[in-house]
Structure 1
Amino acid sequence: MLLTVSGPPGSGKSTNAAALADRFDLDHVSGGDIFRELADERGYSPVEFNELAEENEQIDRDLDRRLRDIAVDGEDILLESRLAGWLAADHADIKIWLDAPREIRAERIADREDKPVEVARQETSRRENSESLRYKEYYNIDIADLTIYDITCNTARWGPESMQQVLATAVEAYDPAADEGKAPVEDVVYDF
């Protein structure tokens, strides 16, 4: 099984991805973890590294190519990243998009990173704008287009345990036979 979990910063994708991977005994591959490792190795904060990626497209392309290769070649994987649904569009069994209002996401990030909410809100806004521009420029992907996802959820509507139960129920009910003859994602021009 190949599942993808995508969403903006603070949406709960890491929490829910880890729980799903554990529940279904899947290897959990996090694009965010890989990105933060790359930033740390080079002495940058994730926000600074994101801005550097605006000037050096090879950063995104290397990360995205690595994740795409994992999606294409892997089995029993949960791939978590902002672009995971797109990277595995033709290979994933279920593609999930998680989101929450920006204010709630900023509060979550502020709590997680021990910073003021306003700082988290500003950094998150800058990061989202930066990534959106790069995805469009590099791959012609409109990250706001959620039509490729099988499941989209507002994680602010349920607590973590309830959200995980909703997602687990959907995965357990998945019928692979329903995908037979399914058309691949079209009108995407990207070169990972």
Structure 2
Amino acid sequence: MLITVSGPAGSGKSTAAAALAEALGYEHVSGGDIFRALAADRGLTALELNRLAEEDDEIDRDLDRRQRALARERDDVVLESRLAGWMAGDHADLRLWLDAPPAVRAARIADREEKPIDVAREETRERAASEALRYREYYGIDIEDRSIYDLALNTARIDPDGMVDVLVTFVEAYAPGHDEGKVPIEGVRYEF
């Protein structure tokens, strides 16, 4: 089974995806880890690489190609990134969206990256705007469109263990073969 976990920065998607993969005995693949490694390799922050990606579409396209290949080639994977649900396309069995209010996400990022909350808030806002612009331009994706997701969860008031319990319960309740309600992904341009 291929499960995608998507959501904005600070939503808890990395924590949840890793714990969900562990609970299910699946492999966890993180688009964010790949992106941060690419930034570090270039001596840049994630925000700086995001800005560079606005001018060099090969940065995003390379990451997205990798996600689509993983979705086609592997089983029993939790694929996690902002676009994982979109990039996995019809290969995804379940698409999960995690979110939290901007103030909660900024506080989490500030804590994780040891920076002032106002800096985290502004960087997160800029990064989200940059990414939304690129997703629409490259692929025709409206990142605010939640219609492809099987579950959308506000993580603001759920601790990590509770979040994983909810997700595992949802995955266990999933009935393979019951795709009548599955929303096909149409109108997305996968131009790599």
What is the TM-score of this pair, normalised by structure 1? 0.97
> 1:135 & 1:158 partners in 2: Cα distance?
29
1:102 maps to which residue?
A: 102
Q: Which residue of 2 aligns with 1:39?
A: 39
> 2: distance between equivalents of 1:103 and 1:184?
33
Counterparts of 1:185 and 1:77 in 2: how far apart (Å)? 20
Cα 1:171–1:58 shift into 2, 3 Å: same
- For 1:1-192, what aligned pairs fall within 5 Å after superposition? 1-179=1-179, 182=182, 184-192=184-192
Q: Which 5+ residue runs of structure 2 have no aligned equivalent? A: none
Look up the SS of the partner of 1:176 in the other structure.
Answer: coil
Unaligned runs of 5+ in 1: none
Secondary structure, aligned partner of 2:62: helix
How many residues align structurally? 192
Mapped contact 2:148–2:184 kept (Cα < 8 A):
no
Structure 1 residues 181 and 4: CA distance shift in structure 2, 3 A:
closer
Q: Classify the secondary structure of the residue corresponding to 2:97.
A: strand
Measure, in 1, the Cα distance between the counterparts of 2:183 and 2:5: 21
Identity %: 62
Which residue identity does 1:97 align to in structure 2? W
Separation in 2, partners of 1:22, 1:112:
21
Deviation at 1:180, TM superposition (A): 6.0
RMSD (CA atoms): 1.2
Give the direction of change, closer, same or farther, for the CA distance of 1:95–1:182 in structure 2 (3 Å limit): closer
1:89 shift after superposition: 2.3
Structure 1: how far apart are the matches of 2:31 and 2:79? 8
The residue type paired with residue 92 of structure 1 is A
TM-score when scaled to structure 2? 0.97
Q: Tell me if the contact between 2:147 and 2:183 (Cα under 8 Å) persists in the aligned partners.
A: no
Cα contact 1:90–1:185 (8 A) shared by 2: yes
